[in-house]
Structure 1
Amino acid sequence: MMELQKASNGIFHDAAVEGGIPPEEEKFLQHKDDGSKRPEFTDFEGKTSFGMSVFNLSNAIMGSGILGLSYAMSNTGIVLFLILLTCIACLSCYSIHLLLRSAGVIGIRAYEQLGLRAFGQPGKILAAIVITLHNIGAMSSYLFIVKYELPLVIQAFLGLTSASEDWFMNGNYLIIIVTICIILPLATMKHLGYLGYTSGFSLSCMVFFLSAVIYKKFNISCPLETYGNHSVSTVTSDDTCTPKYFTVNQETAYTIPILAFAFVCHPEVLPIYTELRNPTKRRMQNIGNVSILGMFTMYFFTAIFGYLTFFGYTEAELLHTYSKVNPLDKLILCVRLAVLVAVTLTVPVVLFPIRRALLQLLFPGKSFHWVRHIAIAVCLLFAVNLLVIFVPNIRDIFGISGATTAPTLIFILPGLFYIRIVPKTQEPMSSRPKIQAACFSALGFIFMIMSLTFIGIDWMSGEMRSLGGH
């Protein structure tokens, strides 16, 4: 039996091979996963605590989409929104279960290696490409927030009423500075577990955002009052300030993909599992459940208090609605700054799975090397910065990517991996778990077709709407 490879000397080694079934995988396939024996993973010995892992996974789930959840609720109603949010959260937990179950069979916790074991080299390449495209899209969306929001924060702090031509008010320069000074040093850390502290701080910023939303609920009356020269458009409907519980309109269909993508964290699940101390399927599943439950709670409270503040006046970006009520509100200014900090600290967490995918694809079986580790991070950040700076409307590009890669990562691949990897001697195709996994993958295809249809309708109608992404 092959001796387990240790990481106590600080050297990362990937036990993946390019072809066939390595001895360590044969060892796992010979035993049934009855829960009586703790899995002995062959790829890495993690040292990250349960709490830090929860912070990292929660930070991976949390995205800029939280700013649009109140608008989503205004187009679904409170009860329908809660039902949809609950269903998506439960499906995400089930998806994590499928990934962990598959990883326990082959003994290696890497998304790309699940693809290799299930479909050979094409499966490995597909998984690596999907992870790379999706996470580059997520990183770009975060840096776009920095590009457009940070100049406004600086402008407000300086007491300026309009943008100036100074270099420090140029969003392109600001994202380069933020990338070099904050994101790159965090992205070059050796292990993802070290980012648990920054992830915890990032989550605290979003908790502050939620607290401000709750506080503002009791300080803003509806119909909205006019402040200064910034008037709020008047809606003549009598029920504008009345909460709706079930609503179906043209915008309702767009909220379903938004909610589905709100829990995308699956590329980060296995890297976090890799670095977990005392790894077991149950322990990592508990981390996933706690993280999703925490984000579910934060999502729902943010959505409902934002919606009950503005009702029919709610805009697609919640902070913009507050700015229309009072553009000089110092609390909202601080909230905007906290959101900027949160998305900035999320970028390194999202970068780690891309780097791991590229290492699995381009340098399989190679031991850890600092030059390779740093070079990939620099190249990725350089490419993302170029996209954000030179592409005027990146939402068109990553609208397609988000509509295809997110359902693939959440639904399609986990279900297919489970069907192919779990031996038929344990669970035949006619068994309930395999049938559930097949239905789960089919649901992913439905989400993909639906999302692409919405984008096509938008393009044909000339009304470009963003699906929100992660």
Structure 2
Amino acid sequence: MELEKLSPSESLDMMANGNHMSDLSPEKITLEDGYEGPGAEEAECEEFIPHKTTTKKQTQFTDFEGKTSFGMSVFNLSNAIMGSGILGLAYAMSNTGIVLFIILLVFIAILSAYSIHLLLKSAGVVGIRAYEQLGYRAFGPPGKVLAAIIITMHNIGAMSSYLFIVKYELPLVIMSFLGKTEFKGEWFLNGNYLIILVSILVILPLALMKQLGYLGYTSGFSLTCMVFFLISVIYKKYSIPCPLPFSNITSQNWTTNSSHHFDPHNEDTCQGKLFTINSQTAYTIPILAFAFVCHPEVLPIYTELRSATKKRMQNVANISIMAMFIMYLLTAVFGYLTFYGNVEAELLHTYSKVNPLDKLILCVRLAVLVAVTLTVPVVLFPIRRAVQQLLFPGKEFHWVRHIIIAICLLFVVNLLVIFVPNIRDIFGVIGATSAPSLIFILPGIFYIRIVPTEREPLNSRSKIQAACFATVGFIFMIMSLSFIIVDWVNGGGNSAGGH
């Protein structure tokens, strides 16, 4: 069978079924396990399925591959990284101290970039740009199922956390616009109703896009909103006095849905700490890990990247991670130095207790709401792909299936947001389980299993590093879950902020 006679969907089917296309000549196939023939190095470095230089380039893997620009890819990946996690970073800093927080943030950012390198290297060896299919190549069907389940679990958690922001911030925005200071049971101020409306009117239409690349425009706008949020946080550091005037701290019943006690006379009111260890420190690493996870989106974005190479995609990842690192660091530092020990798990809620009718904070709330709402469709794409890989492997694109999966996913996420009471539980549990799996464990073990021993023996430095990387993930998962469970048992789960 000649490569030129294969349709894009047939090529994808062959990959999905584990077909190595062994009947193709070395010049026409991507680098396979153990293949060291002529042109292997060039094939790996340049593209997954090389084409004859005298023929028109073939569409690879998907009908819309290679149409998304470098800039749009950066916007999409940055938007996948940035999300509701940014609202919990000042709280994380209050429970670690400034220096320890910066050390952990640098550590997680570097490891995230390295794990993407491992993913791209593994994908380059076997010519697959689907996380689930990497699992299939590494461990067979169990690996495929495991990867799909972890991606689904993490991204549903991420979507839930975004909608938590909508649930608790949108009513406050509407109340501010209407000049209200109390919630008297109006249906249009009920967060549960509002998330359903937002899901139907905004998220669902964007989630029905056939191509992830189209969301680059909304991702760019979403990032612009978060830059405005950052600028406002910096400005408020110099406009909110410390200690906070007691008369400015409101106690309306609509601001008391957090169990965090806002104390203007807290001993930490105006004192920043460099190092802090307490019962809530256990949540810091999961929150940071959660804030940097973008790995389920990496391979779909890679698939659609124009002139895709591993180096080009790694550059997309590095730029995205660096940009989000700067935003995270500045937000955490200035948010923490504004409220110190009084900062809550959701930063915007802290501002509302100082002045609920502040026009700037109202605009910031609106910007954050827009940003997280526009992020949900980007995060939904990998879940839908995982579901399709599990239930409909090798099937061609079908609009009915595409739409039904999106509707079902949004339905499940809405139920979670309505019935789960605390956003910190989402950050903590998801960050402690699926986040280390996606950042550390799966990229490490996939790399060890997929890269052939003929090229890199098990005792090679690269594979030893990958093994250590996966081990760090297991240790991180066990420690984080242990700390969180101990905190719950001791009653700490009800003592700290969040929604």
Give the structure-2-normalised TM-score: 0.87
Distance 1:381 1:466 in 2: 30
1:376 matched residue in structure 2: 405
Q: 2:198 matched to 1:194?
A: no
CA–CA distance in 2 between the matches of 1:135 and 1:391? 16
Given that 2:297 and 2:379 are in contact with CA atoms closer than 8 Å, whether structure 1 keeps it comes out as: yes
Q: 2:376 aligns with which of 344, 347, 353?
A: 347
Counterpart of 1:181 in structure 2 is: 201
In the superposition, the TM-score normalised over structure 1's length comes to 0.93
SS for the counterpart of 2:182 is coil
Query: How many angstroms does 1:288 deviate by?
Result: 0.2
1:332 matched to 2:361? The reply is yes
Determine if contact 1:50/1:277 at 8 Å carries over to the other structure. yes
Distance 1:88 1:399, change over 3 A: closer
Alpha-carbon shift at residue 13 of structure 1 (Å): 4.8
Q: Distance in 2 between matches of 1:399 and 1:309?
A: 24
Counterparts of 1:255 and 1:354, CA distance in 2: 26
* Candidates 41, 44, 47, aligned match of 1:39: 47
**Is 2:304 aligned against 1:275?**
yes
Distance (whole Å) between structure 1 residues aligned to residue 310 and residue 495 of structure 2: 36
1:47–1:328 Cα change, 3 Å: same
1:330 CA drift (Å): 0.9
Whole-angstrom distance in 1 between the partners of 2:200 and 2:269: 46
Deviations 1:157-192 (A, max 9, x none): 101111132321122221111111110110000100
Unaligned runs of 5+ in 2: 50-59, 252-261
C-alpha RMSD of the superposition = 2.5
> Is the deviation greater in 328-337 or in 432-441?
328-337
Q: 1:262 aligns with which of 291, 301, 309?
A: 291
Match of 2:273 in 1: 244
Count of aligned positions: 466
Does 2:114 match 1:94?
yes
User: 1:433 pairs with 435, 441, 462, which one?
Assistant: 462
The Cα of 1:108 is off from its aligned counterpart by: 1.3
Corresponding residue for residue 289 of structure 1:
318
Structure 2 equivalent of residue 18 of structure 1 = 17
Q: Distance in 2 between matches of 1:311 and 1:298?
A: 19
Cα pair 1:18 1:121 within 8 Å, conserved: no
CA contact (8 A) 1:68 1:468 kept: no
Of 247, 250, 263, 1:230 maps to: 250
Contact 2:442 2:470 in 1 (8 A): yes
CA contact (8 A) 2:249 2:354 kept: no
Residue of structure 2 in register with 1:28 after alignment? 31
For 2:496 and 2:137, the matched residues in 1 are separated by 33
Equivalent AA in structure 1 for residue 385 of structure 2: R
Q: What does residue 217 of structure 1 align with? A: 237
Q: 1:105 aligns with which of 100, 125, 147?
A: 125
Q: Which residue of 1 aligns with 2:100?
A: 80
For 2:86 and 2:181, how far apart are their aligned partners in 1?
28
- Over 3 Å counting, the alpha-carbon distance change for 1:215 and 1:12 in structure 2 is farther
Deviates more, 1:405-414 or 1:15-24: 15-24
Residue-by-residue CA offset, 1:14-60 (whole Å, 9 max, x unaligned): 54333564437974212454687412344233210000000000000
Task: Quote the sequence identity (%).
Answer: 71
Secondary structure at 2:246 match in 1: coil
CA pair 455-445 structure 1, distance change in 2 beyond 3 A: same
Choose from 122, 131, 139 the match for 2:159. 139
Indicate the SS of the match to 1:357. helix
- 2:246 and 2:143 mapped to 1: Cα distance? 57
**C-alpha distance in 2 between matches for 1:217 and 1:398:** 25
Deviation at 1:416, TM superposition (A): 0.3
Deviation at 1:317, TM superposition (A): 1.9
